[in-house]
């Protein structure tokens, strides 16, 4: 991709990206499947979501393909957790 | 710090670092306090731990203060979760 350098450093970063985003997905799946959001704290989810937003901006400014890739996926995952928390909390 | 650039990009990164590491700590505290590790999956914790290790190496190679700071703390947190999972799983 133009402007992006895929060297050995970026391969380490992309490995990191795949591992940490993969580790996060089962939580999203489990929450969606069980609708059990009792163990999730809304303030913590919001802090995490805003944190990931900052990481994404940081990655874009640093032109880091790994960080843009990882944080684009994780921001979606964490948005879904916030959404599930609000949606399923109302029921109980 | 020598070799590190603290500019506005790094301030965004450090903000991200504080937010995401902060959001992670209550999980560690809760697990330590309740000793309830049933919701934690060992393979996922290990994948996450190895992922963070890769992020730390990536941050060092990129000379990113924010990533070194964030991932040094998160690698400790995730190591503790792996440790708790192994330690408290044996009891039940």
Q: Which of A22, A53, A61 sits opposite B47 (nearest CB)?
A: A22
Give the pLDDT confidence score for residue A5 in this predicted structure.
Answer: 67
| Residue B55 forms contact with A (CB below 8 Å) | yes
* B14 HSE (CA, 13 A, CB side): 9
| Residue A50 forms contact with B (CB below 8 Å) | yes
ipTM of predicted assembly, 2 dp:
0.86
Whether residue B58 and residue A16 make contact (CB cut-off 8 A), yes or no, is yes
Whether residue A13 and residue B44 make contact (CB cut-off 8 A), yes or no, is no
- pLDDT category at B41 given cuts 50, 70, 90 is confident
The DSSP annotation for chain A comes to -TT---SHHHHHHHHHHHHHHHHHHHHHHHHHHH---TT--HHHHHHHHHHHHHHHHHHHHTT-HHHHHHHHHHHHHHHHHHHHHHHHHTT-
Cα B47 to Cα A34, A48, B19, B54, B73: the distances in Å are 23, 19, 22, 11, 17
CATH class label, B8-89 = mainly alpha
Give the pLDDT confidence score for residue B2 in this predicted structure.
Answer: 58
The pLDDT tens digits for A37-84 are 887 888 999 999 999 999 999 999 999 999 999 999 999 999 999 999
Cβ-Cβ pairs closer than 8 A, A with B, add up to 92
**Shortest Cα distance, chain A CAs vs residue B50, angstroms:** 7
Q: Which of B9, B10, B23, B29 to mutate to test the interface with A (most CBs of A within 10 A)?
A: B23
Element (H, E) at B43: helix B42-61
- pLDDT category at A3 given cuts 50, 70, 90 is low
- pLDDT category at A7 given cuts 50, 70, 90 is very high
């Amino acid at each position: 991709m133009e402007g992006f350098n895929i060297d050995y450093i970026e391969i380490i970063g992309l490995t990191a990206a795949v591992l940490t985003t993969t580790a996060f997905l089962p939580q999203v799946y489990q929450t969606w499947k069980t609708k059990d959001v009792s163990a999730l704290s809304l303030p913590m989810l919001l802090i995490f979501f805003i944190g990931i937003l900052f990481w994404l901006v940081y990655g874009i400014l640093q032109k880091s393909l790994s960080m843009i890739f990882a944080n684009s996926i994780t921001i979606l995952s964490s948005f879904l957790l916030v959404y599930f928390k609000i949606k399923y909390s109302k029921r109980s």
